[in-house]
Structure 1
Amino acid sequence: MFMFESTIIWDDNEIPLSRYFDDVYFNTDGAVDETRYVFIEGNCLYERFLQHQQETFTIGETGFGSGLSFLVAWQTFKQFRQKNPNSNLKKLNFFSVEKYPLSASEISKIHDKVINSEDSLSPLSKQLQDFLIKSDVGSLDETNLLICYDDISCFADFLVQKNSLIDAWFFDGFSPAKNPDMWNESLFKRCYQLTREKGTFATFTAAGFVRRNLINAGFNVEKRKGFGLKREMLIGQKI
């Protein structure tokens, strides 16, 4: 049952802030476009779906938040399956972790603010909200969602138990300056070990210590133009 205490403070501009980290979940203006740019395009997901020869593609995410990144990934996969019904790729696994889950009402409010009612994300949002009220593990169409409600330090062991390597990472914690545990070298080393060969990552940040930690973990790291006014972001691959 998805019932949690409020973790959000809404500022005067109706921007959602974390009660624990004093950081925005995202800017409600352009949040969906930014998610697509950073995580979907940053990992070249649609192109990789087309090239994938196995039955299942697996995404790992550090920070479920409002579930927006999951929604956009789910939408992208649904579009892929509709256009490529005979592809070898049939299933999407999405593993995420969240220490401070949002309540169902908070998720609903955020989605109402960032998702246009005419967008094909809108009905998916309603399905996700219904799903979260009932469970944290299960299938939504051809996509399996599994959420670890625990500290980020437990996420790697959670993934080991699921016996699944990650094809693409969404590194999506709060600001590295305010939530350093989500960006440390030891975490990235565990993530690297759990990444399939030629697996990728994308993240909104280009902070110097994050880049160094990713490189020290073993990833090949590149800078990419950031979304909107953000100058840079990071993408990379396990070679």
Structure 2
Amino acid sequence: MANGQAEVDWRDGRVPISTRFDDPYFSLEDGLAETRHVFLQGNDLPARFRPGFTIAELGVGTGLNLLAARLLWRESGQTGRLHYVGFEAYPMAEADLRRALSAFPEVSDGADLVARALAQPGTTVEDGDMAATILIGDAARTLPGWSGRADAWFLDGFSPAKNPGLWTPDLLAGVARHTAPGGSAATYSAAGAVRRALAEAGFQVERRPGFGRKRHMTVARMPE
């Protein structure tokens, strides 16, 4: 898969749409509320937070999810540092990223952190209580080269129908191999093929109510 910068159009002047995948970067209704429902609650956070907790994400996009996690880390009174590793094939231009995050004043102050991490791929960028690393390129190639394991995964690629490369059984098996015992994964997708691939990779898979008009989503837990 050839990589390059994200190509973005705008819905109502505030919601970025990927022209390559014809899919929005976050919910047209409320992107931050969607993040909290799907990725934070879906991974049972903040209850599972501990110093050194590691989040990994397929599809960094605007960085909204990582910044929402950092906000929750702070609001829930955690100590130590939250670690984040993101995998992104088509990084968003800094101007687009800042424009997208400006819609969410609660987290928009973190745009500098996301921009710095995207500008220094593979380098860990520290900002107080967070350390963020973003790997640029096809996740099928970059994930196997990562030596870490995540306590929680945000599976946030564009929809399986429009971006099937981020939802293959091989890639989700790689996610499982890079998940700590007792670790978890969450995604807005309830596609049967995604749930089956996660189960075949060793996760215990559960369907939960989705966000907004989406009936269902998927959560998965790796046995201890």
Shared fold (TM-score, shorter chain, > 0.5):
yes
Which residue of structure 2 lines up, in the alignment, with residue 218 of structure 1? Answer: 202
2:63 to 57, 60, 67: 67
Task: Structure 2: give runs of 5+ residues left out of the alignment.
Answer: none
Deviations 1:67-104 (A, max 9, x none): 00011011111223xx354xxxx221100011111101
Quickly say closer, same or farther: Cα 1:9–1:224, change in 2 above 3 A. same
Deviations 1:169-225 (A, max 9, x none): 000000100111111111111111111111001000101111111111111000000
Which residue of structure 2 lines up, in the alignment, with residue 172 of structure 1? Answer: 156
Which residue of structure 1 lines up, in the alignment, with residue 217 of structure 2? Answer: 233
Deviations 1:131-167 (A, max 9, x none): 347634311112110000111112322322xxx2110
Which residue of structure 2 lines up, in the alignment, with residue 38 of structure 1? Answer: 38
Q: How much has 1:14 moved relative to structure 2?
A: 5.0
SS in 2 for 1:100: coil
Which residue of structure 2 lines up, in the alignment, with residue 29 of structure 1? Answer: 29
Runs of 4+ residues deviating >6 angstroms: none
> TM-score if structure 2 supplies the norm length?
0.90
SS in 1 for 2:29: coil
Distance of 2:28 and 2:22 partners within structure 1: 16
Q: How much has 1:12 moved relative to structure 2?
A: 5.9
SS in 2 for 1:45: coil
Aligned sequence identity (%): 34
Q: How much has 1:25 moved relative to structure 2?
A: 1.1
Task: Structure 1: give runs of 5+ residues left out of the alignment.
Answer: none
Deviations 1:5-57 (A, max 9, x none): 551122466532212211111234310011011001100121001xx4xx411
2:130 to 133, 143, 165: 143
Alignment coverage as a number of residue pairs = 218
Which residue of structure 1 lines up, in the alignment, with residue 144 of structure 2? Answer: 157
Distance of 2:14 and 2:98 partners within structure 1: 14
Contact 2:117 2:134 in 1 (8 A): no
Distance of 2:84 and 2:204 partners within structure 1: 23
Say whether 1:185 aligns with 2:169.
Answer: yes
Which residue of structure 1 lines up, in the alignment, with residue 15 of structure 2? Answer: 15
Quickly say closer, same or farther: Cα 1:178–1:140, change in 2 above 3 A. same
Amino acid at match of 1:143: M
Coordinate RMSD, CA, aligned? 1.9
Distance of 1:84 and 1:15 partners within structure 2: 31
Structure with greater helix share of residues: 1
Amino acid at match of 2:200: N
Contact 2:6 2:18 in 1 (8 A): no
Quickly say closer, same or farther: Cα 1:13–1:91, change in 2 above 3 A. closer
Structure (1 or 2) with the larger CA radius of gyration: 1
> TM-score if structure 1 supplies the norm length?
0.84
